[in-house]
Each structure stands twice: as C-alpha cells, then as structure tokens.
Amino acid sequence: MSLIDIKSIYDLSGQVAVVTGSAEGMGKEIARYLASAGATVVLADINLPGAEATAAELAQAGAKTLAVRLDQADEASVASMVKSVSTRLGSPNILVNNAAVQDRALLDDLPTSMWDKVHAVNLRGPFLCIREVARQMRADKVAGRIVNISSVGSSKMCCDSK
C-alpha cells in the first residue's frame, strides 16, 4: 500500500484520527487518506488482526498508526479504546464513524436478531464513539472534527420486489 500525495492540500500533521471499521474496505481507504495527509491514524475495528495488517501496511509506507480492537456496540469497549488512544497518542482530533453491519435481506425476511445488531452497531455504536471522543476532546481542550458515514441502503430494505 502506498500513501497518496495530498499533504500539500490537506496537512493533518500532529493530528490523531480514529477510523472505525478500518480493517478493510472504505474504512481502510479513509485511513490511507488521513495517513497520507500526515495524521496519526488509529485503526479501530472488531477485526483486530485485519486492523493490525492494515496498520502494518500503512506503517511500511511511512505512516504513524495504531491498531486497536473496537466493538462499537459495547460501551466498555468504546471507552477503553478512547482511553487507550488518549494515553498512547494524545486526544483524538478526528473521529470517522465508518463501521457498520448490514444484511441484504428484505425487511420481511430480516431476522429480529439482525435488526437488533444493526441498531447496536450502526446507531448506538456511533453515538457511543461520538460521546466518548467528545468527552476526551473537551477534557483535553482539543478542537476536532467528527464525521459520520451512512448509506442509502435503508431505502432498498422494504421497497424492492422479489
């Protein structure tokens, strides 16, 4: 993996960026862009081996990274992640809530257990991350940005015919 030459446009040197769901896919690319801009990137994912592999790829390209396990549906996991980041790197300046789960089933085929998981990860999880990171930013008097990513997938959940 290589970094992208965007630091002249977006210089995030000295910033700590937490990206949830960054072991692969869109989160991994967001992490790469933030690292390319000079941020120290925290790869926070429930898939710790994947986050560690992505962190290693970015570090090999010259980025500063930290991989941490995060189950964003679990309040204690979120609090632990924020505490670990602030202890090791300083207060986060950037939070990108990217992690999410989905099931491609139509609403009438969706099990209640998946509905509950989607709400826990996709709604409660970002709330917990925002709350804990904002608390840390406020305590450390650090300005920052929080970016929440969502999808239009819900518009297809009930409207497609089989």
User: CATH says 16-149 is which class?
Assistant: alpha beta
Q: Please tell me whether residue 17 adopts helix, strand or coil conformation.
A: strand
- Which residue is associated with the tokens 């920052």? 144
Overall pTM > 0.85: yes
Q: What is the pLDDT of residues 98-150, one digit of tens each?
A: 998 887 778 888 889 998 998 999 999 999 999 999 999 999 999 999 999 98
SS (H, E, C) 55-71: HHHHHHCCCCEEEEECC
Residue 119 DSSP one-character state: I
Q: How far apart are CA 162 and CA 160, in angstroms?
A: 7
In the chain, domain spans: 16-149
